[in-house]
Structure 1
Amino acid sequence: YSTILHSIKSEFPHLHLHAYSPMEVSHLAANSRITIKRALLKLKECGLGSMPGTAAEILSKRVREEICPEKLSAREWIEVVETAHRTGIPTTATMMYGHIETVEERIEHLITIREIQKRTGGFTEFVPLPFLPGGNQLGERLCMENGFECINGTNDLKVHAIARIILHTHINNIQVSWVKLGVRLAQIALHCGASDLGGTLMEERISKSAGATSGEYLTPSQLNNIIRHTGRKPATRDTLYRTITPQFE
């Protein structure tokens, strides 16, 4: 892992490297028989700039034991993320919703994210991710159970709005995933708490294999028009949410 970072940084020293989820950091630390902190310090030394806060799913013991028992626990996820922040490595924060979790567990997840941010200030953004049931065992099982329905668009918007309320003044940036929600619903979400439109992807497999039909790639010009049609002014940013040129005028 460190060799990959070092090799890329050697060739492209000004490139910001956003890589390695908490799950991967936990795995590489265990395999190398070193602490999480030492692993993160080594990765930072080799050029790691920030990390995706994926593998969070829902930070509930009950939920994780049922949907992802093979992944790190909620406590372990929090440990990796807080250690990264204290090491000077910012991360994103995510929440996968719309499966077996209760509304109360979603709220608890958001409050957990907020409390971490109060302690460390290391989250750059929060990204709500709706569960897509296609092409995975959990989705197949849930679809066979009576009464299960995929979360609807109204509830998608509620999740973004509630996230804005709970995280207000603590995490400024809430990203809406156009790949998962579709462009039109993502546009509405920009008026329901979201402030960032998920970036253009060169290749995306997870959502596509799970049944998403919104596509994988949008050009900067297309993103510009999508945002403008909501009455918002587009701007270009870097991974750490610093506005960069060129800005869309």
Structure 2
Amino acid sequence: MRPFRGTSLPDSANESVQHLKRYLEYAENGPAVLARDVVQSDAEPDSPFEESVLAVLNGWGHTVQPQVGVAGYRIDLGLRHPRHPGAYALGIECDGAMYHSSKAARDRDRLREQVLNGLGWRLYRIWGTDWYRGACGSRTEAGETARKVTLIAPAERQLALRELAAECPGMSQDELIREACEFFGWRRTGADIRTALESDIADLYRRGRLQGGPDRISVVRGGTPSG
């Protein structure tokens, strides 16, 4: 009688069948099977930051898969290997300033990184503020005009404002607006820019992302303001 193997089961849309298939493969092959990625074909980037990184990588000709599931963890972006179909050359983590300020997140992620490294993943971390500052700086250094405020999605502007507020807690609203202008490469704070950023800040307050008065703004993390 031939043994029944996990590879004998075809992939199925039934989650229970997939779990059984993975269990049988694990029993036969050991922990190495956990390194295989679990991908949803319709998976999308989880934030405007990830969308921005994905667009740049695609523009460079790379094939990128958002939200790759590995051993119960999620990797923000998986860079497909150009010469080995089905394999990944790199896992990319997109982290904001909130990650910097959270010791619990860093401790938790250290274990996660050890597990993924043990499964053969090479991980590269991109910081939100560094990414946006670099992108804005490269545009102005190339002599190109910075994007108009109306051409930047509110979600992207608000992400930048929140990252800046977390990076330098205790700024006033005017200081935060000045930092955002520098961030996006705007040399002058025109009425349209100020109006848009003030509206973004007000929306962040309404959604519980910012706290404090106009003289001292804090980022809310887990219900507690930082700074």
When normalised by structure 2's length, the TM-score is: 0.30
Structure (1 or 2) with the greater helix fraction? 2
Structure (1 or 2) with the greater strand fraction? 2
When normalised by structure 1's length, the TM-score is: 0.28
Task: Name the larger-Rg structure.
Answer: 2
